[in-house]
Amino acid sequence: MNGLQDVAHFDPKILVFLCNWCSYAASDKAGMAQQAQPSQIRTVRVMCTGRVDPQFVLHAFRKGADGVVILGCHPGDCHYKEGNVHAIKRHLLLLALLRQLGIEDQRCRLDFVSAGENDRYVRILSEVVEQVRVLGPIHFPRVD
């Protein structure tokens, strides 16, 4: 359906949940280093990826996000010991549910970025923006 031109013109909106203890600092570091970052992202700081209720992700899609990214501490490094482990399990279940609702895995990514990994932060977000740009926009049943 999408011609090449449509892909080039589609500007996806990506909502990014950042863990206060790691990826938020990486984002800050990328900013201070004046690294080029995709302009399609909107960030939300949370205290832990374990705080990201799957309802938040669904709400983001309902409100017009074309992709959602959750960036937490590497496994074993969680500030609260196992918040990111809960996040991994939730995310695997959520992906299975989203697949059944017609949402591709690439639109909802959980990944791990420590406070020093500003390059990795920029790389992951750039990848998601490009993947979602190819996938195109999504729509849900109108309920109003």
Residues that bind other proteins (CB under 8 A): 53-55, 57-59, 61-62, 75-76, 85-94, 96-97, 100-103, 138-144
Give whichever of 9 and 62 is closer to other proteins, judged by the CB atom. 62
**Cα four-point dihedral sign 17, 20, 21, 23:** positive
According to DSSP, the residues that pair with 100 across neighbouring strands are none
According to DSSP, the residues that pair with 15 across neighbouring strands are 42, 68
| CB of 142 vs other proteins, minimal distance in Å | 7
* SS3 assignment, position 5: helix
Cα(112)–Cα(101) distance, integer angstroms: 26
| CB of 35 vs other proteins, minimal distance in Å | 26
Q: How many beta carbons lie within 10 A of that of residue 105, not counting itself?
A: 11
Give whichever of 25 and 52 is closer to other proteins, judged by the CB atom. 52
Give whichever of 35 and 81 is closer to other proteins, judged by the CB atom. 81
| CB of 3 vs other proteins, minimal distance in Å | 16
